[in-house]
Chain A
Amino acid sequence: MQLTKKGKGGAVRSLLSAASASLLLAAPVAHAEDAHQHHHHHAEGAPEQPWRIDVGSMRYSEKDRITVSEQNFRARRELSEESALTVRADYDSVSGASPTGTLKIQSTTGASGTAYMASFKTTRAAAGIDWETALSTDTRLTLSGDHSSSKMNKSSGIGATVARDFNQRNTTLIVAASYSKDTIDMDIKEELTPVSTAVTRASSEKKDQIDLQLGVTQVLTRGTLLQLNFIHSHASGYMTNTHKLVSVVNNLTGQTLNYSPYTEKRPDTRYSNAFYAQINQAIGSGVLYASYRYFEDTWGIKADTFDLKYRQPFTEKFYVQPHVRFYDQSAADFYRSMLVAGAAVPTYASADYRLAKLQTYTTGVKLGYKPDFGGEFTARFDAVRQYGEQHPQDAIGDQRAVNLFPELKATIIHIGYSKPF
């Protein structure tokens, strides 16, 4: 992808050729914020520093479970006063053990109640591009394309964001839409059948997702910025996890002996709504970032997320930023910690703990340092704890005596460097 200066037509051609070459990818977080990120207080005239590079390396490590090593790179080039191009690349590798959803107790002599783990290793590469252009003096358009690929999963997506300023650029309205298509290439087993006899019914499955955004950012005072977002998503297709299973237990003892676990099954449509609010508040030389998200979907999940960061500079070159995050979700309607032998098999069932009622607590700190040669180094450490129902109401017999949701402990270490030039 060329990043040299060119006209709008050239940039469009670049975008389209990149898209048609399927070099574009979809990441689970949004890039549309770029649309107004750079614009609010954009200096007039030709950009003095047309380039900006951001690089980051993260290690996410769970105690006794998986480790993720991830590298992210992005380069943004202002092509003119009115347009800019960003290219993004990401590479990650995941290895370790993940809970299958099955329970460990097989007989009354079974000791531990922790879930069975399955080890795996996978790598994934992703790339994306954003092209921003001014439609008028107060309206901007951003077009995005994304593609990611791992051995079994491929995902491609496109998105468009329009942002319009009002009220002396104190108010920005944002309307955005995106579409993504995922493909899973692996043996797809018959759902909700004993895994010992489940036949492979397909070698590939697909999923589509449409996201629609309506947002507003508002300058409230000289040092207060507010953002409100409403996002509606519609996913359809294969959303079952082929690696997850559900234990079948004796209706009196709770023992799994003699029963093959079942493959899981999730609904093939999912509508969700997210409402997001964020405030940036300058306090002296520091900045407080506070955000809240409410999420609900047609699977019965309701979730609240609170996030608080405070950035305090100590010198011109050095700042410290403590961070806390709290997350709480209800269980999906079809979440079952286990199925009962002899009982009717439900239409949908999953024992994936991520669909259970759970809470996540994160505390961390980030350090920032601006060296003499320019740019900014950052180092961040976050500790993550996740808790769920150790003794869910549907536990039977021996399963009541054991911890069915072992605590998850994880750390995030992230080192980054950014430089405009």
Chain B
Amino acid sequence: MIFRKLLACLALASALNGCAMMQAVQPWEKDLLAKEEMQLVPDRVEEFFDGRVYFSREASFGGKGVGGGGCGCN
């Protein structure tokens, strides 16, 4: 089941890649994307705090990336 999901992700990535190949955004068109507020994580401290709050109050976790693990608490 995991492998099927991985394949689905890869297929989606390839499809996106192909889609972008047709109308790739050129380097000189990346003025908006270069802005700090367009980064995937514009405020890493906020991301960190919220991760801690919801990790300790809900049963699910993760999704944004991998990182060393837990707080040592259950």
Contacts and interface: CB of A to CB of B under 8 A. Distances in A.
A211 B72 contact: no
Contact of A167 (B20, B32, B59): B20
A276 B33 contact: no
Nearest to A300: B59
B42 to A, nearest CB: 8
Interface residues of B, number: 61
Interface string B15-44: 011011100111101111111011111111
Contact of B68 (A145, A217, A225): A145
Contacts of A178: 66-69
Contacts of A27: 48, 51-52, 67-68, 71
Interface residues of A, number: 127
Given A173-B13, A354-B59, A31 B38 contact: no
Contacts of A384: 53, 57
Nearest to B26: A168
Interface string A122-155: 0010101000000000000000111011101111
A131 B42 CA distance: 19
A274 B62 contact: yes
Interface string A178-192: 111111100000000
Contacts of A229: 63-65
B71 A161 contact: no
A170 interface: yes
Contacts of B21: 167
A109 B42 CA distance: 54
A316 B13 CA distance: 36
Nearest to A34: B44
A159 B33 contact: no
Contacts of A209: 69-70
Given A148-B71, A274-B63, A276-B64, A228 B55 contact: no
A60 interface: yes
Contacts of B60: 272, 274, 293, 295, 297, 301, 303, 305, 329
Nearest to B39: A37
B44 A54 contact: yes
A55 interface: yes
5 contacts: A28-B71, A156-B68, A161-B66, A216-B13, A278-B40
Contacts of B2: 232, 273
A158 B68 CA distance: 5
A223 B62 CA distance: 26
A115 B20 CA distance: 54
B66 A329 contact: no
A219 B26 CA distance: 10
B20 A176 contact: no
Contacts of A156: 68
Given A30-B66, A211-B62, A218 B13 contact: yes
A36 interface: yes
A145 B73 CA distance: 18
A25 interface: yes
Contacts of B33: 40-41, 219, 222-223, 225
A181 B47 CA distance: 23
B65 A215 contact: yes
Q: 7 closest pairs, A vs B, by CB?
A: A180-B69, A157-B68, A29-B51, A153-B72, A26-B68, A30-B65, A276-B63
A238 interface: yes
B20 to A, nearest CB: 5
A37 B41 contact: yes
A231 B34 CA distance: 27
Of residues A30, A180, A384, which shows the largest number of chain B Cβ atoms within 10 Å of its Cβ? A30
A238 B9 CA distance: 32
A170 B49 contact: no
